[in-house]
Structure 1
Amino acid sequence: MDRRRAIRGRGITKCFGEVVALDGVDLDVARGQIHGLVGPNGAGKTTLLGLLLGLAVADKGRLEILGTAVGRGPAAVDGVAGFVDGPGLYPSLTARQNLAALAALYGRDAKTMPIDEALDQVGLTDVADDRAGGFSLGMRQRLGLAAALLTRPRLLVLDEPSNGLDPAGKQHVHGVLTGLASNGTSVVLSSHRMDDLEALCSEVTILNTGRVVFSGPLSKLAAEHRELDYRLVTSDPAQARRLAGETAGIVVKEQPGSEHLVVRALVPALDALVVRLVQGGVALRELAPVVSPLEAAFLALTEQPEAGA
């Protein structure tokens, strides 16, 4: 067993009747890593998260979690916490009472559990005595995260943790997750928010129809991917267009009436264009992918139509 990895899965297969939800999936997550799980609806993400949480078992393959080989009966490995398909809460109970009820399910006295610490960690101290039934979606997500943190897990498994969060709430949750990872907790999170995954994750696994179509660092994904469209805003659009047209490997995309320029290129050609702009006295005010590298790769690898296509 590899003690350096929080998760090691090989050939994981799970079927529901004739439906193959996971088909020979390999998964590696290092300790202290935030690992993203990406894929279209029906790709197998929820099934895989359920296996990690001990809610189901694989039909075939090997799975080790926190150095423990997972057996053939549903059972959560000690040190794992999280939620899938949204956190389960008691709407008639307050936030604090929900966590106390969870402590009771663990067979623990609520007084010995870090309930107030967990509420403070997710920014819910001010509403700790409000009923969860009146919480917004984002507040329920944060309470679910507090419930997962109650046992101080070594592996945190989260399904769409940013659902319903406003910008401040999202920033707060991001801070919690990065702080946990820096202290050695591994995090696996599924999300349709590519900006969240790019901000948080060092590695991602992309699933499509139950199979892994990519797994590895985001930097490798961007480097291996096809050309991207980039938006350029400069001090001299006409001169920038002329220089772009003269640079090898750059394709200028027509944007009638627009003051900005959109080009399609690989990174080396884009670098060459930036050098030419600077040498030509053209100030570069903005340079960004029209679609993020992760989103572009996701669309290409899962054969999803790009926006506007």
Structure 2
Amino acid sequence: MDAPLAVRARGITKSFGDVVALDGVDFDVAPGRIHGLVGPNGAGKTTLLGLLLGLAVADEGELEVFGTPVGRAPAGVAGFVDGPGLYPSLTARQNLAALAALGGHSADPGAVLDEVGLADVADDRVRGFSLGMRQRLGLAAALLTEPRLLVLDEPANGLDPAGKKHVHGVLDRLVAAGTTVVLSSHRMDDLEALCAEVTILATGRVVFTGPPAKLTAENAELAYRLRTSDPAAARRVLAQTRGITQEQAARHDTDVLVIRARIPALDELVRRLVQDGVAVRELAPVVSPLEAAFLALTEQGSTR
């Protein structure tokens, strides 16, 4: 018998007065993976994460975690939405000790603080913490419970590059040990780096779910920066390659061509440039492929 999905949602609907936050959402998360949940503000991400954490219940539909219907405070699930709840007058260590005592958890607060990179400030009061430090302390609080499912709302908020790298490492290690992670983020680079699959919501409905590579391949005609050894020759090749359009380049860098194409046309362009002896020195998306696909899909979803 196959192992149950980490999350299985069917026909989830949730309204707040006249506002429909979720409108018949189906949502599956495989165990032992990081699944990204993305969408514009008001798309329903936080509502769905709140349902997973048992902070609210759906008006209609079925929601299961590891095969068990979700109720209030579901077992084996931890995390935060809208930022972690912390005691500002207590130190980081005292915050975790209080939470451990309330929940009956035996995990060592010091070890958890070390895992998220806060050992050096363990005895500092939380009121002086930056946003990024609070996010990492919220992650530490969730790890106290040793959850099977970790639910995080914008965990990279306020993190500097070093902090983000550290948190990514923590999440990767958790998943390698069998934990499942569902996270929301507006940072497409985080999603591309971390997630095996993403689900995109728009106006409370799912408009895409699957691997990021599938999303970008199916939906994105991207703009690319192209720098070559011979811009004039590159322009001649561009004019002879079907499926590629040239856009206005930045005025301060006339050697860079900005082109728009799908992957097959881009492959053909590179082949022709090399064949004509033109070296390709840079070929990179102007924006993240996932971001371009996200914008295309959510704009379509908002007009339904």
SS of residue in 2 equivalent to 1:255: coil
Give the distance between the partners of 1:207 and 1:161, measured in 2 at CA.
18
Q: Per-residue deviation at 1:298?
A: 1.4
Q: Which residue of 2 aligns with 1:100?
A: 97
Counterparts of 2:179 and 2:52, CA distance in 1: 15
TM-score (ref. length: structure 1): 0.93
Shift of 1:255: 1.7
Counterpart amino acid of 2:30?
Answer: A
Kept after mapping to 1: 8 A contact 2:116/2:137:
yes
The answer on whether the counterparts of 2:91 and 2:125 sit within 8 Å (CA) in structure 1 is: yes
Question: Could you tell me which residue of structure 1 aligns to residue 23 of structure 2?
Answer: 23
Q: Which residue of 1 aligns with 2:134?
A: 140
Runs of 4+ in 1 over 4 A off after TM superposition: none
Cα shift at 1:150: 0.7
Equivalent residue runs for 1:153-192 within 5 Å: 153-192=147-186
- Measure the CA separation in 1 of the matches of 2:113 and 2:101: 17
Following TM superposition, by how much is the alpha carbon of 1:31 offset from its aligned partner in structure 2, in angstroms?
0.6
Q: Kindly state the Cα deviation for residue 256 of structure 1 after the two structures are TM-superposed.
A: 6.0
What are structure 1's unaligned runs of at least 5 residues? Answer: 305-309
Q: Deviations over 1:247-304 (max 9, x none)?
A: 1111111326421111111100100111111112222121111121211111111118
* 1:307 aligned partner: none
Tell me if structure 2 keeps the 8 A contact 1:237–1:260: yes
Unpaired stretches in structure 2, ≥5 consecutive residues: none
Partner of 2:290: 294
Give runs of aligned pairs for residues 205-244 of structure 1, distance below 5 A: 205-244=199-238
Whole-angstrom CA distance in 1 between matches of 2:141 and 2:184:
18
Say whether the 8 Å CA contact 1:2–1:67 is kept in structure 2.
no
Q: Compute the displacement of 1:115 (Å).
A: 1.2
User: Separation in 1 of the partners of 2:220 and 2:50?
Assistant: 33
Q: Report how far residue 2 of structure 1 moved.
A: 6.5
Q: Secondary structure at the match of 1:5?
A: coil
Using the TM superposition, give the Cα deviation of residue 226 of structure 1 relative to its aligned residue in structure 2, in angstroms. 3.7
State the partner residue of 2:258.
262
SS in 1 for 2:8: strand
Equivalent residue number for residue 271 of structure 1: 267
Matched residues in 1 for 2:53 and 2:29: separation?
15
Secondary structure of 2:6's match? strand
The residue matched to 1:54 in structure 2 has which SS? coil
The one-letter code sitting in structure 2 at the alignment partner of 1:129 is: D
